[in-house]
Amino acid sequence: MEALTDRQSEVLRLIRELTEVSGYPPTRAEIAEKMGFRSVNAAEQHLRALEKKGAIDISSGASRGIRVRDARSGGKLGRLLELPVIGRVAAGAPILAEENIQARYQLDPNLFTPRADYLLRVRGMSMRDAGILEGDLVAVHKTPEARSGQIVIVRLGDEVTVKRLRRRGHSVQLEPENPEFEPIEVDARSEALVIEGIAVGVIRSGKSL
């Protein structure tokens, strides 16, 4: 992040404070008022400068669309894990790309073994009989190594899917746990198959219950 001027730092601090107090970011008008500007455009200009220097993100068109960047930096707090929740995975993008992250939750590191690296939101009912339902969060340990019989998170082309792994010599079988779905057979050396990790836990919350 580029160095901020004194005035820009003041504005940034004000944005932090107002967000903290009210629960939502300020508008240009609110910033101008608190800073003593008689023109809202002064606030607008400061926001542009702050965005350009990487201090904040601005969502265009959205009211109060200001997000202070390093607000949640690091991700790790004390002995706790902060795990990102991955929703729909954009084609081509790596799973942990920022655009795929829907939320972040802090979880006790002792809960899952081996350590969970992220949570993946499940789509579809193909693992129903393993007690993994649509909307559930699967805790994923990131590793390319998986043994036969383990539940794995794999990428098949542009699709990310959760299935049980069976190794059969050179070929790999991805088994659903639901008789309504068909197993998938892939060549283990295929470029299209990438093992992203193994499932180490499941969390269900809210609606699916």
3-state SS class at 139: strand
Task: Decide if residue 23 touches DNA (CB under 7 A).
Answer: no
> Active site includes 163?
yes
Structure tokens at 31: 């910033």
How many positions of this chain bind DNA (CB under 7 A)?
33
CB of 90 to DNA, least distance (A): 23
Amino acid at 164: R
User: Which DSSP letter does residue 65 get?
Assistant: -
CB of 193 to DNA, least distance (A): 17
Binder among 12, 15, 28, 202 for DNA (CB under 7 A): 28
Asked if omega into 114 is within 30° of 0 (cis), the reply is: yes
Number of Cβ within a 10 Å radius of residue 10? 14
Task: Decide if residue 7 touches DNA (CB under 7 A).
Answer: yes
- Cα(11)–Cα(5) distance, integer angstroms: 10
Name the one range near DNA by CB under 7 A: 63-71, 101-109, 112-120, 190-198.
63-71
Residue with tokens 């690296």: 117
> Active site includes 208?
no
List residues near its own copies by CB under 8 A.
6, 9-10, 13, 16-17, 19-25, 27, 57, 59, 62-68, 71-77, 80, 101-108, 110-113, 128, 130-133, 136, 139, 151, 199-209
Binder among 49, 85, 96, 130 for DNA (CB under 7 A): 49
- Cα(32)–Cα(13) distance, integer angstroms: 13
Q: Please name the helix (run of DSSP H) or strand (run of DSSP E) that holds residue 104, with its range, or none.
A: strand 101-107
Binder among 46, 141, 163, 164 for DNA (CB under 7 A): 46
- Cα(66)–Cα(15) distance, integer angstroms: 9
Q: Which of 126, 142, 190, 207 is catalytic?
A: 126
53 vs 104, beta carbon nearer its own copies: 104
Binder among 22, 39, 102, 113 for DNA (CB under 7 A): 39
Structure tokens at 157: 């082309």
Active site residues: 126, 163
